[in-house]
Amino acid sequence: MTSSDDLRLPPEKPVGELTWICGGEVDEYSVTLRFLGETLDPDRLSELLGHSPTSSCRQGDIFRGKRYDRIEKHGRWRVGVDDLVMFL
């Protein structure tokens, strides 16, 4: 059991020049299931899980961004919470 002496509480007074203390109700959230790996095969993973990803790529694929392009360093398979609800 944890005693109140073990709790890490925010300071009562500002420390140094500026201290930010934030919190409150959560307005929104997101949940994502991701798999990453150098040899990850997104098609095979989709087959094993029985579900299509929200987005995926293989190592070496070219990502076309709004401002620049990049070569993917690893394979990635991702499904977002909206798609995941249907998955479960």
For the chain, the domain total comes to 1
Q: What is the pLDDT of residue 37?
A: 96
The reply to whether 45 falls in a domain is yes
The reply to whether 55 falls in a domain is yes
Are the C-beta atoms of 75 and 58 separated by less than 8 Å? Answer: yes
Mean local confidence (pLDDT), 52-62? 94
The reply to whether 6 falls in a domain is no
Domain extent for 62: 31-88
Mean local confidence (pLDDT), 7-29? 70
Is the pLDDT assigned to residue 23 strictly greater than 70? yes
Q: Read off the amino acid at residue 46.
A: S
Q: What is the pLDDT of residue 14?
A: 67
Are the C-beta atoms of 69 and 60 separated by less than 8 Å? Answer: no
- Which one, of 85, 88, 87, 80, lies nearest residue 29 by Cα? 80
Mean local confidence (pLDDT), 22-47? 88
Q: CA 56, 59, 65, 68: dihedral to nearest 10 degrees?
A: 170
